[in-house]
Amino acid sequence: MNKILVVGGAGYIGSHMVWLLGRKGVEVVTLDNLCGGHRDAIRHGRFVHGDIADRLLLDELFQQERFDAVIHFASFIQVGESVRNPARYYHNNLVNTLKLLEAMRAHGVDKLIFSSSAAIFGEPEYTPLDEAHPQRPINPYGRSKLMVEQILADYGRAYGLKSVCLRYFNAAGAHPDAHLGERHHPETHLIPLVLQAAAGRRPAATVFGRDYDTPDGTCIRDYIHVLDLAEAHWLAMQYLNQGGGTTAFNLGNGNGYSVAEVIAAAEKITGRPIPLQEGSRRPGDPARLVADATGIKQELGWRPRQPELEKIIQTAWQWECQMIRSA
């Protein structure tokens, strides 16, 4: 792989991917409209401020650069918002992705890594979730991701456009050097919310339900370090470059941690009490959501390098401290 287009590369996961590609010696062009990303998060390659909805811009880019592959991170990700405003999610996550795929076809780019989600599965019928688990998403966000996966399977069969869909569970952590991390506005992810409460940047973190069928009554989730996610994308690109066909993998570290365990680990790492407030269960929140990542381990040789919850939180806390110092 000599030149890669990273769509949505100024966001949380995308910026770590751009950094990793730079370390691998790959030439990168990042396309991002900055509606949720940050220009200063791009640490390698050329940056283009624009949107995949702009077909003229896409044509210009593909004519200029001659990409070997595309990595697609550009999507809206808030489940609750997708329920309130499904049109926004179907237009951005689905329609705009079709525009990207058509531009790729027109310019002979036949390899894509797609940022999918565990939300395609809906309510778990069993855990951990493997690739064979039934796919019954319960919100527009999850449905938009599943629709793209189905489209990519069709494009692979009909047009030879090969893809790997990576179904994330809970991305977490930050770059160990604290120069990249999580900056969502609004923030909806547990670990940064807990750390912001510890740092005094928000009054409290909310625990949504303590009556689940789990050992401590709080939800259990699978947290995977963001650089382990980036490494999985790199291996997926090598797989396609070596002639691999269209496929999909679940991507988590295979360990489940409860909300209470995350809070306890954060208090240990920060040395501070975490102010909490109690909330009721959120609709659609399953008690347990843990990945079976056997598929990607066997097929691509991927292994998480930072699977421990405390190490993941430690990197996120270093980033949080850096944010406070630079404020």
Active site residue 12: no
Amino acid at the residue 144: S
Residues 197, 200, 202, 203: is their CA dihedral positive or negative? positive
Q: Count Cβ atoms below 10 Å from residue 111 Cβ, excluding itself.
A: 22
**Contact between 224 and 168 (Cβ < 8 Å):** yes
Distance CA 103, CA 161 (A): 12
Cβ contacts of residue 34 below 8 Å, gap of 6+? Answer: 10, 49
Give me the catalytic one of 90, 141, 168, 212. 141
**Contact between 42 and 8 (Cβ < 8 Å):** no
Q: Count Cβ atoms below 10 Å from residue 307 Cβ, excluding itself.
A: 16
Distance CA 293, CA 286 (A): 19
Between strands 111-117 and 256-258, the pairing is unpaired
E strand or H helix at 239 = helix 226-241
List residues with catalytic annotation.
Answer: 141
